[in-house]
Chains A and B, each alone.
Chain A
Amino acid sequence: MSRNDSKYFSTTKKGEIPELKEELNSQYKDKRKDAVKKVIAAMTVGKDVSSLFTDVVNCMQTENLELKKLVYLYLINYAKSQPDLAILAVNTFVKDSQDPNPLIRALAVRTMGCIRVDKITEYLCDPLQRCLKDDDPYVRKTAAICVAKLYDINAELVEDRGFLESLKDLISDNNPMVVANAVAALAEIQDNSSRPIFEITSHTLSKLLTALNECTEWGQVFILDALSRYKAADAREAENIVERVTPRLQHANCAVVLSAVKMILQQMELITSTDVVRNLCKKMAPPLVTLLSAEPEIQYVALRNINLIVQRRPTILAHEIKVFFCKYNDPIYVKMEKLEIMIKLASDRNIDQVLLEFKEYATEVDVDFVRKAVRAIGRCAIKLERAAERCISVLLELIKIKVNYVVQEAIIVIKDIFRRYPNTYESIIATLCESLDTLDEPEAKASMIWIIGEYAERIDNADELLESFLESFPEEPALVQLQLLTATVKLFLKKPTEGPQQMIQVVLNNATMETDNPDLRDRAYIYWRLLSTDPEAAKDVVLAEKPVITDDSNNLDPSLLDELLVNIATLSSVYHKPPEAFVTRTHSSAQKTEDDDYPDGSESESSVNLANGPGSPPTSSYTIPPSVAPATPPSAAAPVPDLLGDLMGMDNSSIVPVDQPATPSGPPLPILLPASTGQGLQISAQLTRRDGQVFYNMLFENNSQVPLDGFMIQFNKNTFGLAAAGPLQIPQLQPGASARTLLPMVMYQNMSQGPANSVLQVALKNNQQPVWYFNDKILFHVFFTEDGRMERATFLETWRSLPDSNEVSKDFPAIVIGGVDATVERLATSNIFFIAKRKNANQDVFYFSAKLPRGVPLLIELTTVVGNPGVKSAIKTPSPEMSTFIFEAIETLLRS
């Protein structure tokens, strides 16, 4: 017999399950074992082999550990779906938990703990009780973890049966593995309980510190992490603890080292002797640096932690800046973090060396890295006054290479340098102006414009320079518009000649009339008011001295830093966010709504440009002393109507009176009854799907001379049986008013006979006018239900199970799929879910799943060359008669 597991994956003839069943009941041991392996193989590729439950469980009673483990693996997987059958296994479990072989005893409790079925849990308690006191340490350490499992299923049971006490006893166990697992279990239970369960006294502390020396590496981490919650009574105790922990810094396992660092840092807070602290810093430095010799993944974690540590204790690595120089083969995420730390460690002593490095990085290939390097030079200039000049000369050198993104980045940081050292380096403005026309990024443009405005009196042709931007004013992003507005006002105040006067007219007009950005409009109005009432006051306001910015390289808020330092060596220290910001563990597996992700966990460098007040430039990431920072204005007011619509739609009153000309949000609804035909009543409507329900999204506009009321709606019989689920609720519409509603719809209510079509005939009446009839087209994609996502295996199985006659295909020669991600996302919002993608020659083939009402599956295959016209669509569904509509829907979605 060949010992080759992959043969278990090969599918045999039709009757796979019956065949397996027969083999499972074979009288030969080997045959049974092989059969169970085949079952497990099927299970891992997602096949449903739950029907073999009883047959597999029958194989459980064996002395063969290999076979027993396989059966247990199966049980863990299927017990949840077959709770009644799982009970069959209980007797064997209980028997196994008393087996003379300790491995079998341990296996039994371990597995029982993983089966989250109430009926089984009841039977778990007695064996668990026995195993916690077992003679064999392997059994005890398994039982310790099992208590945590049980607590997760039924906390009360654990407390009632006194398992917590047994667990605490295990802290004094003579086997370090058992101690470590008991600590891990208690720590988890404590995390999920509001009352004190696992309190570390000085007694447990000393016991655990002793166990530390004998534990395996992982046990050491469990213990160190649990002990890090301990608050030493005084400096002496803290010193003692540190002394016991310091040898762990020599461990080859990076996790042990970091957990030890965490513990030492925490105790250091209590130590008063500066000598001791200095000495500890000296001891921690080499192991911290050694972490950077590990795999890049570990390096990343180490760097994120070091970033925090040097903010609190800058001296630790003050002399080690060289180790943070980037290696050419470092992954980009490591390089970025090293750069950040280099800025933090830069000092007057090493700045020359550091600048040399930055200059080198600024000519590398990766654009993001280059930008960050350029910015780093600026940050050093702001941080180190004595080095500012050298930094600027490096920046000027880089500008001369004329690589576009380098120039733009340099201008952004130079603007900040000007703000840090006003009236010092303006001689370089001429050089900057040379690059003016190559700027195409908003932030760089805005920075340059700010510089021109701020130093308008020293730039001879400031008016010409600004004027060149004005032509494109309406198209510029808000950031640039705001700066243009302010710079023009500054120019005018400084040089109130004819040219600037005309410019200011143009800008103010543009910014007040032609824009819907309230920030821009409001700022423009304020300037206008100021200029027209009291130009001198305007000068005082606009040309006032600006606060000097400070360096942000230690920019974590001190209280946040404190919290993060407590969380060194946890995820929190990698994301630089407090745990509650990302931990969403839920016992009831309720879905969380948080949508954030923390790509590289970097402190957000986004700027609140709009809030910085009229005179200030868009500071990239610098802090303004709070006393002068104006309050943040409330942010934009765009999609209010839509939001209301959603809210109202949800509580089913489904009406939203809109008392001013509606600002349509999202794509406007198609007009179905134009005002010209409707005697002044205009109706726009479209079917839409929200929160799993189909709605008729309608907009009524009364352009007639009379108030309209008493609206009612009726749908003619149609292919899909669409009908209103409730009465139409539209209040009296005054002339000139409009109203929006989301009318809930139901399906299969008034089905039409005859050939299928997508026409929806609507009749609408009110008390003042005749009945209006209009036709709408049913958008089929509103019927795709939210639960259409399929497991890949299910998809394959479904595809195979459907006969080929159910496959229909269609070509869309004109459609281009540009961005794959965007397309996938767009389809997902219409409940067409991405399954997989593969390459076929030069074509990409995408697979999607969706579900039609009544649970009818729909499988979609799209074949295309990304970026080129022509998409072939093939679908497979039990309802191929719907294909015309399905293709229509696919086409609409791909086109939009």
Chain B
Amino acid sequence: MISQFFVLSQRGDNIVFRDYRGEVQKGSAETFFRRVKFWKEDADGDAPPVFNVDGVNYFHVKVAGLLFVATTRVNVSPSVVLELLQRTARVIKDYLGVLNEDSFRKNFVLVYELLDEMIDFGYVQTTSTEVLKSYVFNEPIVIETAHMPVGPASIFMHGGKRMPGTAITKSVVANEPGGKKRDEIFVDVIEKISVTFNSSGYILTSEIDGTIQMKSYLTGNPEIRLALNEDLSIGTSDYRGSGAVILDDCNFHESVHLDSFDVDRTLSLVPPDGEFPVMNYRITQAFKPPFRINTLIEETGPLKAEVTIKVRAEFNSSINANTVLVQMPLPTFTARVNFELEPGAVGHNTDFKEANKRLEWGIKKVVGGSEHTLRAKLTFSQELHGNIMKEAGPLSMTFTIPMYNSSRLQVKYLQIAKKSKSHNPYRWVRYVTQANSYVARL
């Protein structure tokens, strides 16, 4: 049970403030912001998501650069409050299409109406966009957006041209300017992968955090069947040979019926409006990492060293990775870095971030099967204490690979129970793999 809910901008301005119980003083937003802003004397220490100041407990999550905050005086379940904050953000995004200060301000009456239906006396009532539709009467004013949308699906925006990107910033409830709603459904299989390589390229840990995300704009809420790989197994006990996809654990949205899941790995559900995860899963089964990284550091003189980084894309050549960024901390005494790219390299940029002594290498597009090399010549202002390998690294990498998934988990088919023959909604099933923590140690 919460006492207050508020949303602050990055600068700490109050965008929305709703007091449900009058137990916490009015200045709480300011107290909170000051605490978060100055959590650590030396700048960038993130404040933990839950803390207590003068008997008031503050919870916050950051969504799209905004701070969603709740306060309470009692011993509540923190996961309830933090989930609630995330969901509130999601519902408001469902309604407004885009989450930012501007869309909030333009729709403040709607936002207050939503908040009143979602939370009563501090108790969550519902966070389902679908349910809310029957109680909420204000219509969203959709703002023109040049901004990037938020959420995992946003990766499709800078993915390929084949992605119908505008749909993602569309409000679930607002009608299209043309009048009629476009009948379509998006199913995104989003996998965030974490891999740690040791210095000889051997995989120390690897993990996939996957989500099957759905966003439905279907009229009439028809039932949907979603079939996954038949050889999918859960838990390692019933291991079925090398080809199978083995999930360590998974969980489902409450609208999902699992009646036939054990038999043929199909999920059936009537998708509520709005964006929601149909299923979350976690895999620690070994998989082929999309990139291999090779790093070589040589001392070439008392105050000089040379770093060679090789990145090889180990996926099919029909697939491209986007917005690849390689980063590596360099020794503290690094004064200068000269970069050398392979001849004819396009879409590369290299940078030495003086402030935190970091090498950055960005590649706009990496085609499957290709290999790229960067040579960096370092100059130090002081002699190193010996082991340069200990003072540099580890190397980390971020990337997005559309239409690629590491786990081989697939949506075999997506069936919409038809109401009429002429009715043929658009169905989009999309895959994407993103780096979560992709690290090569030196």
Interface residues of A (CB under 8 A from B): 3-6, 9, 37, 40-41, 44, 65-66, 69-70, 73, 103, 110, 113-114, 116, 138, 141-142, 145-146, 148-149, 152, 177, 181, 184, 188, 191, 216-218, 221-222, 225, 250-255, 257-259, 286-287, 289-290, 293, 295-298, 300-302, 322-323, 325, 327-333, 356, 360, 363, 365, 368, 400-402, 567, 569-572, 574-575, 579, 582-586, 589, 592, 594-601, 789, 791-792, 821
Q: Is the interface of A mostly helix, strand, loop or mixed?
A: helix
Q: How far is the CA of A279 from the CA of B68 in the complex (A)?
A: 39
Could you give 6 example pairs across A and B, Cβ below 8 Å?
A: A73-B116, A259-B77, A297-B60, A333-B48, A583-B74, A599-B48
CB pair A6 B106 closer than 8 Å = yes
Whether A252 contacts B254 in the complex (CB less than 8 A), given A6-B105, A333-B46, A598-B51, comes out as yes
Closest 7 CB pairs of A and B: A327-B437, A584-B55, A286-B249, A297-B49, A585-B73, A255-B79, A255-B80
CB pair B391 A571 closer than 8 Å = no
Stretch touching chain A among B120-128, B287-295, B298-306, B405-413? B120-128
CB pair B77 A287 closer than 8 Å = no
Q: How far is the CA of A5 from the CA of B139 in the complex (A)?
A: 11
How near does chain B come to A342, taking the closest CB pair, in angstroms? 13
Interface size band for B: 35 or more
Q: How far is the CA of A225 from the CA of B385 in the complex (A)?
A: 57
CB pair B394 A360 closer than 8 Å = yes
Q: How far is the CA of A789 from the CA of B135 in the complex (A)?
A: 40
Q: How far is the CA of A131 from the CA of B256 in the complex (A)?
A: 33
Q: How far is the CA of A792 from the CA of B27 in the complex (A)?
A: 9
Q: How far is the CA of A5 from the CA of B74 in the complex (A)?
A: 35
Q: Which A residues are in CB contact (< 8 Å) with B106?
A: 4-6
CB pair B77 A252 closer than 8 Å = no
CB pair A254 B57 closer than 8 Å = no
Select the residue from B75, B204, B207, B248 with max chain A CB neighbours within 10 A.
B75
Q: How far is the CA of A340 from the CA of B61 in the complex (A)?
A: 23
Contact code string B253-264 (vs A, CB < 8 Å = 1, else 0): 110000000000
CB pair A116 B22 closer than 8 Å = yes
Q: How far is the CA of A582 from the CA of B74 in the complex (A)?
A: 8
Instruction: Name A585's contact: one of B23, B54, B82, B279 (CB within 8 Å).
Output: B23
User: Does residue B145 face the partner (Cβ distance < 8 Å to A)?
Assistant: no
Q: Which B residues are in CB contact (< 8 Å) with A594?
A: 54-55
Whether A329 contacts B437 in the complex (CB less than 8 A), given A295-B86, A574-B50, comes out as yes
- Extra A-B contacts (13), CB below 8 Å, given A218-B125, A290-B280, A582-B55: A40-B112, A66-B138, A141-B125, A145-B120, A253-B83, A254-B82, A254-B83, A300-B50, A329-B396, A333-B47, A363-B390, A595-B54, A601-B48
Q: Which A residues are in CB contact (< 8 Å) with B74?
A: 191, 583, 585
How near does chain B come to A787, taking the closest CB pair, in angstroms? 13
CB pair B138 A184 closer than 8 Å = no
Whether A571 contacts B50 in the complex (CB less than 8 A), given A583-B73, A583-B75, comes out as yes
User: Does residue B329 face the partner (Cβ distance < 8 Å to A)?
Assistant: yes
Q: Which A residues are in CB contact (< 8 Å) with B194?
A: 327
CB pair B249 A331 closer than 8 Å = no
Interface residues of B (CB under 8 A from A): 1, 16-17, 21-23, 26-27, 30, 38-39, 45-55, 57, 59-61, 73-80, 82-84, 86, 102, 105-110, 112-113, 116, 120-121, 123-128, 135, 137-139, 141, 194, 196, 204-205, 207, 209, 235, 248-254, 277, 279-280, 282, 284, 329, 356, 385-387, 390-391, 394, 396, 436-437, 439, 441
CB pair B61 A69 closer than 8 Å = no
Q: Which residue of B lies closest to A41 (CB)?
A: B108
How near does chain B come to A841, taking the closest CB pair, in angstroms? 17
Q: How far is the CA of A583 from the CA of B61 in the complex (A)?
A: 22
Whether A252 contacts B277 in the complex (CB less than 8 A), given A293-B209, A328-B394, A571-B75, comes out as yes
Q: How far is the CA of A216 from the CA of B253 in the complex (A)?
A: 11
Instruction: Name A821's contact: one of B38, B110, B124, B439 (CB within 8 Å).
Output: B38
CB pair B75 A145 closer than 8 Å = no
Whether A3 contacts B139 in the complex (CB less than 8 A), given A40-B109, A329-B436, A582-B55, comes out as yes
Q: Which residue of B lies closest to A398 (CB)?
A: B390
Q: How far is the CA of A368 from the CA of B45 in the complex (A)?
A: 10
Q: Which A residues are in CB contact (< 8 Å) with B84?
A: 218
Q: Which B residues are in CB contact (< 8 Å) with A221?
A: 77, 80
Q: How far is the CA of A753 from the CA of B253 in the complex (A)?
A: 79
Q: Is the interface of B mostly helix, strand, loop or mixed?
A: mixed
Q: Which residue of A lies closest to B435 (CB)?
A: A329
How near does chain A come to B249, taking the closest CB pair, in angstroms? 4
Q: Which residue of A lies closest to B35 (CB)?
A: A597
Q: How far is the CA of A253 from the CA of B84 in the complex (A)?
A: 10
Q: Which B residues are in CB contact (< 8 Å) with A599?
A: 39, 48, 51
Q: Which B residues are in CB contact (< 8 Å) with A323?
A: 207, 284
CB pair A332 B54 closer than 8 Å = no
Q: How far is the CA of A4 from the CA of B79 in the complex (A)?
A: 36
CB pair B251 A287 closer than 8 Å = yes
Q: Which B residues are in CB contact (< 8 Å) with A600?
A: 48, 51
Q: Which residue of B lies closest to A288 (CB)?
A: B249
Q: Which residue of B lies closest to A336 (CB)?
A: B48
Whether A301 contacts B52 in the complex (CB less than 8 A), given A254-B79, A329-B437, comes out as no
How near does chain A come to B274, taking the closest CB pair, in angstroms? 14
CB pair A571 B121 closer than 8 Å = no
How near does chain A come to B32, taking the closest CB pair, in angstroms? 12
Instruction: Name A217's contact: one of B49, B105, B120, B254 (CB within 8 Å).
Output: B254
CB pair A289 B282 closer than 8 Å = yes
CB pair A252 B253 closer than 8 Å = yes
Q: How far is the CA of A567 from the CA of B48 in the complex (A)?
A: 20
CB pair A298 B82 closer than 8 Å = yes
CB pair A574 B78 closer than 8 Å = yes
Instruction: Name B112's contact: one of A73, A333, A365, A791 (CB within 8 Å).
Output: A73
CB pair B108 A5 closer than 8 Å = yes
Q: How far is the CA of A146 from the CA of B125 in the complex (A)?
A: 13
Instruction: Name A216's contact: one of B1, B21, B60, B254 (CB within 8 Å).
Output: B254
Q: How far is the CA of A333 from the CA of B45 in the complex (A)?
A: 9
Q: Which residue of A lies closest to B194 (CB)?
A: A327
Q: Which B residues are in CB contact (< 8 Å) with A44?
A: 16-17, 108
How near does chain A come to B234, taking the closest CB pair, in angstroms? 9
How near does chain A come to B77, taking the closest CB pair, in angstroms? 5
Q: Which residue of A lies closest to B198 (CB)?
A: A356
Q: Which B residues are in CB contact (< 8 Å) with A259?
A: 77, 79-80
